[in-house]
Amino acid sequence: MKRLILLLICALYVTTAAQAQISFYGEWCRKGGGEKTIMIFDMKEKKAYVMNEARKTCMVMEEIDKLSTNKLVGYDWEVSHSTSREFLGMEEIDGKECAHYYVKSESIYKDGGKDGAGYHEWIYSPMKVSNYNGCIAHDNTVYVMDRTIVLRCVKMGPQPAHLFQVPEGYQMTVMPAGGLLEMMTGKSCEENTQKVDETRDAIQKSNEQIKEQLKEVNDKSKSDEERMKALLEMLGGQKKK
């Protein structure tokens, strides 16, 4: 899930920097076992389409100009996000001299926890303009092996209209306002947020209780009988009276 979110946000970032100054189309290619996923970003309509060709399904996301991790998941979990880039040198990708960067991101969550992720990208300067960051290869994907994907078959000029059309026969699912959680549970963002928070608080409280019980079990000032009783209580063998 984390990688899918990163992939969607990365693809959106690459295409929405500013007003159009370059127009082209091509194919993102990678080594694989025959599976195919198609992603369409229609910036005029502010919609994104994620299609699974084998299953003939399509997930539609609206208002992608407001897309964020919290909105995509449907839970206000991330409170801050930062990104840094490290230049690793110049490398050739498909005959093009590119700047190789390592991009690292860090998220801080509402419970104080942190999470980090990173990926490599290769920037081709002739395609780096205000509405495109020039990326022609990156490994920010949902795949574990053969992760690097490369932009190939690039054709400069306006994109044909059919590239923004979902083929007939696909089962369309529009992502609700409550994001992926609402799609899975059928409940609103508010309901899911309350449920997740309650579950998290219950787990935290349970962990604190276990810590206190472990102290009693390991308290050498108590008798063996008292320590055994504390152990049984911790394991649910009997209740405190």
Residue 108 buriedness (CB in 10 A; 0-12 / 13-18 / 19+) = middle
- Kindly state the percentage of the chain with pLDDT values over 70: 70
Q: State the pLDDT at residue 35.
A: 62
Here the tokens at position 69 are 């991790």
Range list of H helices, 36-176: 69-73
Task: Please name the residue that has the structure tokens 């290619």.
Answer: 29
Q: State the pLDDT at residue 5.
A: 44
Q: At what angle do helices 189-217 and 224-234 cross, to 10 degrees?
A: 160
pLDDT at 101 over 80: yes
Q: Are 150 and 94 in contact (CB under 8 A)?
A: yes
Task: Please name the residue that has the structure tokens 């490398």.
Answer: 91
Q: State the pLDDT at residue 223.
A: 79
Q: State the pLDDT at residue 141.
A: 59
Locate the domains of the chain by residue range. 2-80+131-185, 193-234
pLDDT at 99 over 90: yes
Among 135, 97, 110, which residue's Cα sits nearest to residue 193? 110
pLDDT at 89 over 70: yes
For 18-63, write each residue's pLDDT tens digit. 344 677 777 777 665 566 678 888 877 888 888 888 888 898 888 8
Whole-prediction pTM: 0.56
Q: Are 73 and 179 in contact (CB under 8 A)?
A: yes
Q: Which residues pair with 151 in a beta bridge?
A: 28
Task: Please name the residue that has the structure tokens 């997740």.
Answer: 196
For 111-150, write each residue's pLDDT tens digit. 677 777 788 999 998 888 776 788 888 886 554 555 778 8
Q: State the pLDDT at residue 225.
A: 75
- Three-state DSSP class for residue 186: coil
Least confident of 91-95, 116-120, 195-199: 195-199
At a CB cut-off of 8 Å and minimum separation 6, what does 94 contact? 136, 150, 152
Question: How many Å separate Cα 172 from the centre of its chain?
Answer: 21
